[in-house]
Amino acid sequence: MQYSYLGNSGFKVSRLIYGNWLTHASQVANEEAVKTVQAALDGGITTFDTADTYANLAAEEVLGGALKGQRREGLEILTKVYWPVAERKPNDHGLSRKHIMESINGSLKRLGTDYVDLYQAHRFDYETPLEETMQAFADIVRAGKALYIGVSEWTAEQIEAGAKLAKQMNFQLISSQPQYSMLWRVIEKKVIPASEKNGLSQIVWSPMAGGVLTGKYLPGVKPAEGTRASDPETASFLEKFMTETTLNRVQQLKELADQMGVSMPQFALAWTLQNPNVSSAIVGARTPEQIKSNLGADEIEIPKEIMKRVDEILGDSIVTDPSLTKSPPERLV
């Protein structure tokens, strides 16, 4: 496993990060979750990403239990705050000082740790003054409850404003966590330039487009039971990729992966890591076997001619509209 610096900092993360959205305390039994985390550790993955909202608080607890007994200093634990949690009372949502302060304490308790390495704003909160949010993050850093601060799915303008305030408060934003894959490239035109300018790098989620880029979904064939495309809770997220045209084009990518002697998951992951502003890609494996199939992607370098061929094959299936980086206009409670 290779490791890279996160943003303009001395903090290193593994190039592949294990994330437990949709898996722990949800689609995967706890015993299997522990085995998958162990497989990640065995493969050299030291960075683990979660959020309080995953399985409504429970995913953090499962991850904390799975990491129990590991040397804390040898791990990088990432979590997030914003989405409604618990009983979804008026202050159980957003980036107010009250919610951030209460949320970090809850996350630390569930994860079984005194601090998290990276605490991330899971979305931008239009209903809280940005100064209030950034001051709360600054206080959390100074209290030692989080070592670094990042954001997720913030626009270029929001990153600019947040980074400016952070510097005024004597800390820095070091990361952005957006969706990014061969098919979903909405961060390339604005978010990445703003991040580079302000010392942030990307930790990307859904680098395999929810499994579409593994090639397992075939055009004209009903998704197999147990896959995310067959689950009503996640099928809507994949809908934009599940067209006949896109699935046919993804099948053509297999020839490129075969040419390089790598699997489709490895090819998709390696593609995202090819971007110099991407520090890491999050893998959301449900089984130890899936984790093992992803390993090695961080060491693959895709030649320019194959990168160009990817663009030619996928054509207008590639989504690039920067306006699709966005947060809900108001809290959902």
The catalytic residues are 54
**Six-digit token string for 199:** 């010392």
Ramachandran angles phi, psi of 177, nearest 5°: -120, 90
User: CA triplet 168, 170, 174: central angle to 5 degrees?
Assistant: 100
Helix axes 264-273, 244-260, angle to 10 degrees: 90
Alpha-carbon dihedral sign for residues 100, 81, 77, 194: negative
Helix axes 58-67, 30-42, angle to 10 degrees: 50
Q: How many CA atoms does the CB half-sphere of 173 hold within 13 Å?
A: 32
Q: Is 94 within 8 Å of 82 (Cβ atoms)?
A: yes
Bridge-partner residues for 120, per DSSP? 80, 150
C-alpha torsion angle, residues 37, 43, 47, 53 (rounded to 10): -30
Q: How far apart are CA 113 and CA 212, in angstroms?
A: 35
Q: Which of 249, 267, 255 is nearest to 312 (CA)?
A: 249
Bridge-partner residues for 151, per DSSP? 121, 176
Burial of 332 (0-12, 13-18, 19+ CB in 10 A): exposed
Ramachandran angles phi, psi of 165, nearest 5°: -65, -40
Q: Which of 54, 26, 25, 50 is nearest to 40 (CA)?
A: 50
